[in-house]
Chain A
Amino acid sequence: MLAASACESARLLLNSKSPRFPNGLANDSGLVGRFLMDTVGLSARGHVPALEGLPRYDTEGYGGAHLYMPWWAWEKQGELGFPRGYHIEIGGGYGMPQIGSFHGAVRRHGIGCKLKENIRKEFGAFVDFAGRGEMVPNAMSYCEIDPHVMDRWGIPVLRFHFQWSDAELKQARHMEQTFAAIIETMGGRVLTPLTPPGGEVPISAGGEIIHELGTVRMGTSPRNSALNPFCQAHDVKNLFVADAGSFVSNPDKNPTLTINALVWRTSEYIAEEMRKGNL
């Protein structure tokens, strides 16, 4: 049972070479390490004057604003120009003051009573939007064994290749335009820099959202996948991968619950196969 996290599981398999498995264990398909994915991320922040002077109350707790917006535009998918969707995590409220909380206020308001009054007025009048979207797996994004670099135990490490496709770039652009439209509709001002026409959209870097997955993909055929639908290696019947390596798509939501669901199914499958004497 391999559950070392998607990339580390791929690394262990790729490093486990033998005469039977010259490309690495359970890698007859040559697909181990391939179709690496991460979640698409983009954030925006706005100042909303209508929220100034709002009576103070406790807004702490999970997610700041206690708001979450699942993907809403699936019916308009054809018009959007990109497949799949994203959700929005919304932040705001009277966050705990920290070191750095008001550095931007000095830049905007200078010093003195003016600064103090503005910080008081603006406290709680900022909103944050974080988009988290689904990536379509592509052939340009993968990890492989680095032929030159080893870890401190002398074991070769991975090197990564990562590229967003047009689908993710368009999705990120849609996030940015949506967040800006919400902020402006509330009568607010977008504080994060907006991408100029033709400019590069500030999409997260691959790996930044730390949802790396998809490197030991599942499928129905040993030709196009390393694992069967129960996360059992096609080539090695007593080998299972129980992390996000099996994913063939990247849900916009955090992958942990999907990993748990797949592990549950794998466990039931293992129990059943053992009862039948197949394992």
Chain B
Amino acid sequence: MGDHFILSKELTRRDLVGNLALALSSAAVPISLEAAQHVHEAAAREKEAQGAYTPKCFNPHEFRTLERLAELIIPADGVTGSAREAGAPEFIDLLCSQNPELAAIFTGGLLWLDAEMRRRHGAPFVEAGEREQIAVLEGLWEASGGTEESKPEPAAGGRDRPDTSLSPGVVFFNWVTKLTVDAFYTSRLGIKDLGYTGNSSHSKYVVPQEVIDYAIKRSPFAGG
């Protein structure tokens, strides 16, 4: 009976990862932090039990490329580590292992990325220099409609399906940046980086005085 219980718990856990994987390519965002944490926990448990994580969807070269991309998209800085340290490659691999549509976007995109880097510098993406790697990604960001200028955001709750009219590189860029950022900011590292305090219990709701002072000092009405 004990074994049976563990088995059904295991299936439930896998279902949770699978449900999120399928929701990503069909449902509107946002999707809960809790759903993301099931994925982080699944990867952490495997690392703890086996000493290392074995990719389920990607081959070693593809996984190495995802690790490098995670370092470039969210690098380590003086505050926290990188998205690679936060487990973004494992997060993406686990989700892709449960959603063939997503897996096809990533494996196809990684092939495209290597082909593009070979065309430019005669080497696969991971073997190119950092400057060259960033140049390819910056180009994809611009091609994806990214801009520093003030631009209205699309209405909230819209479906976020890949636009197949874009080149495979841009579709891949959109997905790898989205999921890397999602993985980082739903991890312990990312939550620490944001300073998100979590939802704690209070007997009454009081805004701290230092917060009020800070806001009033910076208000457009300050000093009036």
Contacts and interface: CB of A to CB of B under 8 A. Distances in A.
Interface string A108-120: 1111110111011
Contacts of A99: 20, 24, 29-33, 35-36, 182, 186
A261 interface: no
Q: Is the interface of B mostly helix, strand, loop or mixed?
A: loop
Given A51-B215, A94-B197, A104-B153, 18 more contacts: A45-B153, A50-B220, A54-B214, A57-B207, A58-B200, A60-B199, A98-B29, A99-B186, A100-B31, A103-B29, A106-B141, A107-B144, A108-B146, A111-B134, A112-B75, A115-B74, A120-B193, A123-B195
Interface string B174-205: 00011001100110001101111111101001
Contacts of B151: 107-108
Contact of B220 (A56, A104, A186): A186
Interface string A96-139: 11111111111111111101110110010000000000000000
A178 to B, nearest CB: 17
Contacts of A189: 150
B194 A120 contact: yes
Nearest to A105: B181
B224 interface: no
Interface of A: 43, 45, 50-51, 53-58, 60-61, 66, 94, 96-113, 115-117, 119-120, 123, 185-187, 189-194, 202
A97 B200 CA distance: 15
A173 B208 CA distance: 36
Contact of A100 (B30, B137, B218): B30
Contacts of A53: 214
Contacts of B220: 50, 185-187
Interface size on B, as a range, is 35 or more
A123 B205 CA distance: 20
